[in-house]
């Protein structure tokens, strides 16, 4: 069965087969009527051919219906599904990692996406306009409502979970300099007219920050460029093409942006994607910060890359929406002190109470995602001639439903055009990105969805002059776009911007993180990049039967392992039992990797291969459902056949359906166990 997975380019297509049979029938029919003395025999053959075609189509439909969940005992069609993932993909001998080609518009995938139309907010435009650290009453609001009088109050960060409101002041006709990045405004027209209440944000003038950045000298920086990183949660490279087509076209064709086609995640969830980018380390390697853990501390002490940029004279700006499940707040203790110069979290907290009074995803007449984009634009305006590190991450649309991400396409395109037309991109490294593909959406349970989760969208765009000033770095970057890359590499790329070190490695082993401004070798593997097999999209998998004895033993071991994690909380959490094995796969290595031993000649042109390289262990990826609670988990487990032992790591267990409030009983004591706990 393993031999069924062919890593060569696949050309099988049922439409091609049907067309060939149709052509054959037509040719046979013409021959019949061109030879009068054999018409009866020819007609018989044509009828037999027609019957064969119908039998072929009937068997195909039946086979698909039996295997639509990829969990049936007949694995032939499932292997064809995997082969279809690799169709048009050529595995080269000189590049170890080859990500599969996945058609973004494959019909079986497009059924998970729908047209959501446009997002329409309140027709009564917001009464307050905000821009570049100032705000005022909109002229259009005055025309609609007559005389308007307002009060405003600044909102400040108190701590990670609270904000405080300052003293109120009145205003009517003047343009006001915002006393803080967040302001609360209430207005009324006349004595008994319409009322307006909202929370607004901008990048307010901060004298301390301006004095610091104005004193900075950028002479020591290797690449004195702004960094703008704008991302969406849970967006694979293909989902970006499906839902943000206008932005992608403008970014790649007009701005000449470069998409990393070999970008691979290194862990499960947003923290495992952003921590390596922002700190260069994994959560396990960093000081303990998880809620409920002994000696856990806030994350202030982590080696954040924005602190390095700040020391180099940059203004720093970071924000994410959905602050109630913040990347560094849901499971972790968050920050004690404000981590950057301009922080989105106080606005997120102050405005979320207004969501229930507005249309979904709106604040008054403004789409909430556009408010974040305007905040980014304000950062460029407020610090026009000084360097900036800005990272904005939006989750509301794509975290739950990939289809609604299309609402952001026009506004993201508009932001890029604004930055380009106002010359802000002439000194900016622009990054459009995501943390990972869909984790909880329905598409995640398809074979292609599994691969797409591991291959998020990540792209860079440099100023037009960059190639001439940094020719070798630009060439390396272009080549690296097709190599295996990871979040660790993004961190090293940032470090190279500040201080480029082109020293050869004294260690033959490749470093885990490699700057994209330096050549990444073709022989880099997932092992080199510290990507576990569970997340490595370079690997091929073959379907195995859910009734296979090893599969059943592996599934039982997984459930036992999860129960061991919640054992201390058995008074609160049910002991889980195996309800269903939804699918199971065994890893098939790239055959060139398995056979390649090195070069047989001094020039490295002739490969030396073994006749057979056998791994005495096997990796199984199993998707199973447990009871009670109907949790669905995807797990990679290693099986050592010689001792019939299974090895499981908590890092390689993914909960792929929602658990909602079912785990609230351990929310405070052990939030890291929520995916395994079904409360009694």
Per residue in 556-603, pLDDT (tens digit) is 999 999 999 999 999 999 999 999 999 898 876 544 434 544 435 333
pLDDT for residue 542 is more than 90: no
Mean pLDDT of 353-370: 94
Q: Under 8 Å CB-to-CB from 34, ≥6 apart: which residues?
A: none
- For residue 313, what is the DSSP state? T
User: CATH 3.10.450.10: which residues of the chain?
Assistant: 540-673
Mean pLDDT of 538-564: 89
Collapsed DSSP state (helix, strand, coil) of residue 332: strand
Mean pLDDT of 148-163: 96
pLDDT of residue 587: 72
Name the CATH architecture for the domain at 229-498: 3-Layer(aba) Sandwich (3.40)
pLDDT of residue 9: 28
Q: Under 8 Å CB-to-CB from 68, ≥6 apart: which residues?
A: none
Residue 310 pLDDT class (50, 70, 90 cuts): very high
pLDDT for residue 302 is more than 50: yes
Mean pLDDT of 481-498: 97
pLDDT of residue 55: 58
pLDDT digits 0-9 by tens, 226-281: 999 999 999 999 999 999 999 999 999 999 999 999 999 998 889 999 999 999 99
Residue 604 pLDDT class (50, 70, 90 cuts): very low
Measured at the CA of 383, the angle between CA 379 and CA 384, to 5 degrees, comes to 105
Q: Percent of the chain scored above 70 by pLDDT?
A: 80
Question: What distance in Å separates the CA atoms of residue 470 and residue 517, rounded to the nearest whole number?
Answer: 9
- What is the chain's mean pLDDT, rounded? 84
Measured at the CA of 200, the angle between CA 195 and CA 202, to 5 degrees, comes to 150
* Helices of type H across 383-533: 396-400, 409-421, 447-453, 466-469, 471-480, 487-498
pLDDT of residue 40: 58
Residue 341 pLDDT class (50, 70, 90 cuts): very high
Radius of gyration of the chain (CA): 29
Q: Under 8 Å CB-to-CB from 400, ≥6 apart: which residues?
A: 440, 441
97/207: higher pLDDT = 207
323-327, 437-441, 605-609: which has the highest mean pLDDT? 323-327
What torsion do the CA atoms of 202, 151, 322, 443 make, to the nearest 10 degrees?
-90
Q: Are 562 and 576 in contact (CB under 8 A)?
A: yes
Question: What distance in Å separates the CA atoms of residue 251 and residue 246, rounded to the nearest whole number?
Answer: 8
Domain 540-673 has CATH 3.10.450.10: yes
pLDDT of residue 543: 82
3-state secondary structure 50-89: HHHHHHHHHHHHHHHHHHCCCCCCCCHHHHHHHHHHCCCC
pLDDT for residue 370 is more than 90: yes
269-283, 396-410, 428-442, 639-653: which has the highest mean pLDDT? 269-283
Mean pLDDT of 107-126: 88
Q: Are 257 and 462 in contact (CB under 8 A)?
A: no
User: CATH 3.40.720.10: which residues of the chain?
Assistant: 229-498
* Helices of type H across 175-244: 207-215, 237-243
pLDDT of residue 652: 84
Q: Are 454 and 261 in contact (CB under 8 A)?
A: no
Pairing of strands 342-343, 315-320: parallel
Q: Are 456 and 436 in contact (CB under 8 A)?
A: yes
The mean-pLDDT minimum among 415-424, 454-463, 615-624 falls in 615-624
The mean-pLDDT minimum among 68-72, 446-450, 639-643 falls in 68-72
The first and second tokens of residue 462, run together, are 């440099």
658/405: higher pLDDT = 405
Mean pLDDT of 606-622: 64
Residue with tokens 């006749």: 611
55/546: higher pLDDT = 546
Q: Are 220 and 424 in contact (CB under 8 A)?
A: no
pLDDT of residue 84: 45
Q: Under 8 Å CB-to-CB from 78, ≥6 apart: which residues?
A: 67, 70, 72, 447, 543
């Amino acid at each position: 069965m393993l031999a069924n997975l062919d890593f060569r380019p696949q050309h099988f297509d049922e439409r091609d087969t049907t067309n060939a049979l149709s052509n054959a029938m037509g040719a046979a029919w013409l021959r019949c009527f061109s030879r009068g003395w054999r018409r009866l025999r020819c007609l018989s053959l044509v009828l037999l051919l027609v019957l064969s075609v119908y039998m072929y189509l009937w068997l195909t439909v039946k086979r698909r219906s039996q295997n639509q969940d990829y969990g049936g005992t007949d694995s032939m069609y499932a292997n064809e599904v995997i082969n279809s993932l690799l169709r048009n993909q050529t595995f080269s001998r000189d590049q170890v990692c080859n990500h599969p080609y996945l058609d973004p518009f494959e019909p079986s995938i497009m059924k998970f996406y729908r047209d959501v139309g446009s997002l329409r907010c309140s027709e009564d435009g917001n009464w307050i306009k905000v821009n570049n650290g100032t705000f005022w009453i909109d002229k259009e609001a005055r025309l609609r409502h007559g005389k308007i009088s307002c009060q405003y109050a600044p909102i400040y960060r108190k701590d990670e979970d609270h904000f405080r409101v300052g003293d109120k002041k009145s205003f009517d006709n003047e343009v006001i300099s915002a006393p803080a990045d967040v302001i609360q405004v209430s207005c009324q027209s006349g004595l008994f007219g319409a009322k307006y209440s909202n929370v607004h944000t901008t990048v307010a003038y901060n004298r301390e920050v301006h004095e610091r950045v104005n004193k900075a000298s950028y002479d020591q920086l290797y690449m004195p460029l702004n960094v703008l990183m704008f991302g969406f949660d849970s967006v694979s490279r293909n989902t970006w093409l499906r839902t943000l087509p206008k932005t992608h076209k403008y970014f790649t064709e007009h701005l000449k942006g470069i998409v990393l086609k070999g970008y691979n995640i290194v862990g499960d969830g947003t923290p495992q994607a952003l921590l390596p980018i922002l700190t260069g380390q994994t959560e396990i390697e960093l000081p303990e910060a998880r809620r409920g853990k002994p000696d856990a501390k806030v994350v202030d002490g982590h080696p954040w890359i924005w602190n390095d940029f700040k020391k180099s004279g940059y203004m720093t700006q970071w924000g994410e929406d959905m602050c109630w499940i913040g990347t560094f707040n849901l499971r972790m203790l968050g920050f004690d002190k404000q981590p950057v110069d301009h922080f989105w979290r106080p606005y997120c907290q102050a405005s979320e109470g207004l969501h229930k009074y507005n249309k979904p995803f709106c604040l008054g007449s403004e789409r909430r995602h556009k408010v974040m984009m305007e905040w980014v634009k304000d950062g460029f305006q407020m610090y026009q001639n000084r360097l900036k590190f800005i990272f904005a991450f939006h989750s509301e649309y794509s975290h739950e439903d990939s289809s609604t991400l299309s609402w952001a396409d026009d506004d993201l395109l508009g932001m890029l055009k604004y930055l380009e037309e106002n010359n802000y991109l002439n000194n900016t490294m622009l990054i459009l990105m995501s943390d990972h593909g869909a984790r909880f959406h329905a598409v995640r349970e398809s074979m292609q969805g599994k691969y797409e989760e591991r291959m998020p969208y990540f792209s860079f765009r440099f100023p037009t002059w960059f190639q001439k000033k940094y020719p070798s770095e630009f060439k390396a970057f272009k080549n690296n776009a097709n190599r295996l890359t990871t979040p660790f590499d993004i961190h090293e790329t940032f470090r190279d911007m500040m201080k480029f070190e082109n020293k050869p490695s004294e260690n033959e082993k490749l470093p885990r993180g490699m700057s994209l401004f330096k050549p990444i070798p073709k022989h880099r593997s997932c092992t080199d990049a510290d990507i576990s097999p569970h997340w490595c999209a370079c690997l091929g998998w073959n379907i195995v039967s859910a009734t296979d004895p090893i599969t059943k033993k592996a599934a039982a071991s997984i459930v036992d392992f999860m129960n061991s994690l919640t054992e201390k909380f058995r008074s609160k959490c049910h002991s889980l039992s195996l309800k269903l094995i939804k699918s199971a796969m065994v890893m098939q290595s790239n055959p060139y990797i398995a056979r390649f031993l090195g070069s047989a000649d001094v020039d490295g042109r002739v490969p030396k291969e073994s006749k057979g390289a056998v791994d005495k262990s096997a990796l199984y990826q199993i998707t199973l459902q447990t009871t009670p609670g109907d949790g669905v988990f995807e797990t990679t487990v290693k099986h050592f056949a010689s001792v019939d032992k299974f090895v499981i790591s908590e890092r390689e267990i993914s909960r792929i359906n929602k658990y909602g409030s079912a785990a609230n009983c351990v929310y405070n004591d052990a939030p890291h166990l929520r995916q395994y706990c079904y409360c009694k």
